[in-house]
Structure 1
């Protein structure tokens, strides 16, 4: 909305002192022409904004009054800024709204708290886009219009019609009763029921969404944390689970524990390798996990898994082996 954008523009100028039109456009996610129109509107409304010419010019505000929150101490302000740095809002399509809210919080702080809190927040990094091995952990892309409809249905308590694409299947339309939204490792999920049965949908697989007028069939109160834990447990204990007897190097045990559903120790072999009974979600999960460990682990049983890993290794040798 334009009113919110005008407020954000004023707050940006208050915090930065002077900004060029392109810089304002990037912050507000609009065009430079829109920024110039907004500047004209602010001037016409009596806001003391003026332009500075030259290479380092831009737009700035004359010194003016600001609303302060004297009851907000440094640690409270820091907590808000750190919370605002988390990317969960991106998964729910609230990134721009969160940035605007954080600008308002910073602007409302007393002068002595504003500088110290903002400086301290810059020294804390929450959920970076890559880990120490340079693996990207960026959030999945979800169209703002789609996730906005999902949010609206969750908050309004109305039924939701979604066009959902499951793995290896054509997208289909389905009507669900939304319960809540969850973000885990930068992936957003919709918790819902469908015909009374629990369902969990990944937001990135919702291609389109439409809020219906009919009220959703759901409890008035919900404990999302408990609900998520229950569904996670159900997911881990369901499906065609596979039990594998594995010999693994001791230093790679933690990796195996981290990727498997469960690990039961069996003992230690004469060469120092651990012998473990490992439970995986299904055949594909077992093949993937053991393949990642390479020669640091050996699947002893079942035989089909040994055959599969051998055939995969043979295919690699054929691909990269010498030509005769």
Structure 2
């Protein structure tokens, strides 16, 4: 880990010319004390790094210094392969590896096109955190130690023991055969089998993970895209689906449609609002989806949905009143 950090420190100085200890610490996600120790280690190893004093001072390399320390390690190469979505790399615990790998890629570019490429990259924004309606896409937090252990089991083809907290259930330990990892809108999933049956686990709900020595029972090759499509279809068509009637502010239509399984009917009311008949996976899904829309949606039917939303609103109001 320290060797990779020393390489990253050298590459940062090569690419930026001069950086303060504070800036280096921020880029490397370490303390300034660690940066100073790394600078001493580089100097002792013969790397010509020097300090410039003053208000705009910092650390820099002697002009013309070249390095061959740009080889990618395994995680950095893997991060580049999933870099089509930066959030995908983050969901799989490869965010820091992607940052490190990209420094090496930039450093390996001929100097003549390095600045051109950097300038062009500033003109492109892929998969931003918010859309045009200012809705924030929140990536789920997964401890690095957990996702690293899950990755190791997937790549090594070993059985995996996970402490999993399913919705509305007490966390339980279970042993699974991992098949692959999928990320969707910043949320990571583990595709696996358990006792031969297909299972899908959200990474954010895995509290702990342990790779076992026993080989996983799984095919040698897998089409993850097809497997994900099949599981998505089963999810949409299975379970206790419910159909509800909703009055909706048209500005929030895409949000509702995006979370519903299907829109069965739609018409406009006289006041411009929409009246939609939509299907959800189950009652809990329906309550959650409409609650997110607050005053921009009104449940018209069935009655149990109106009652659930009213009870939830009353509970929130009571809590707020007590807190004041």
Bigger CA drift: 183-192 or 124-133?
Answer: 124-133
Q: Retained in 2: the 8 A contact 1:81–1:118?
A: no
Residue in structure 1 matched with residue 225 of structure 2 by the alignment: 225
Query: SS of the counterpart of 1:87?
Result: helix
Flag the 1:106–1:84 CA change in 2: closer, same or farther, 3 A.
farther
3-state SS of paired residue (1:105): helix
1:257 counterpart residue number: 257
Report the secondary structure of 2:86's partner residue: coil
Q: What SS class does the counterpart of residue 221 from structure 2 fall into?
A: coil
Looking at structure 2, the residues matched to 142 and 67 of structure 1 have their Cα atoms a distance apart, in angstroms, of 34
Deviation string, structure 1 residues 223-260 (Cα, Å, up to 9, x no partner): 11111111111111121101234566777654543332
Structure-1 residue corresponding to 2:116: 116
**In the alignment, is the contact (CA less than 8 A) between 1:265 and 1:277 conserved in 2?**
yes
Structure having the higher Rg: 1
Q: Distance in 1 between matches of 2:317 and 2:96?
A: 50
Q: Does 1:196 align with 2:176?
A: no
220-229 vs 280-289, greater mean Cα deviation: 280-289
Instruction: Kindly report which structure 2 residues correspond to 1:1-324, keeping only aligned pairs within 5 A, or say none.
Output: 1-62=1-62, 63-65=64-66, 83=83, 86-246=86-246, 254-265=254-265, 276-290=276-290, 292=293, 294=295, 299=300, 301-308=301-308
Give aligned pairs, total. 310
The 8 Å contact of residues 290 and 297 in structure 2, kept in 1 or not, is answered as: no
Structure 1 range deviating more: 304-313 or 29-38 = 304-313
Instruction: Please state whether the residue corresponding to 2:180 is helix, strand or coil.
Output: strand
- Work out whether residues 159 and 215 of structure 1, in 8 Å CA contact, stay in contact via their aligned partners in 2: yes
Judged with a 3 Å threshold, the aligned counterparts in structure 2 of structure 1 residues 50 and 174 are, in CA distance, closer, same or farther, namely same
Greater alpha carbon shift after TM alignment, 32-41 vs 140-149: 32-41
Give the Å deviation of 1:294.
Answer: 4.7
* Inter-partner Cα distance in structure 2 for 1:68 and 1:203: 34
RMSD: 3.3
Listed one character per residue, the Cα deviations across residues 212-231 of structure 1 (whole Å, up to 9, x for unaligned) are: 11111111111111111111
* Change in CA separation of 1:257 and 1:131 when aligned onto 2, cut-off 3 Å: closer
Measured against aligned partners, the alpha-carbon deviations of 1:21-51 in whole angstroms (never above 9, x if no partner) come to 2221221122222222222222222222112
TM-score, normalization: structure 2?
0.82
Query: What is the Cα deviation at residue 82 of structure 1?
Result: 11
Local SS of the residue matching 2:176: strand
Change (3 A) 1:309 1:220: same
Q: Compared with structure 1, are the counterparts of its residues 91 and 318 closer, same or farther at alpha carbon in structure 2 (3 Å cutoff)? A: closer
Gaps in structure 1 of 5+ consecutive residues: 70-79
Distance in 2 between the 1:23 and 1:266 partners?
Answer: 54
Change (3 A) 1:276 1:48: closer
TM-score after normalising by structure 1:
0.82
Runs of 5+ unmatched residues, structure 2: 71-79
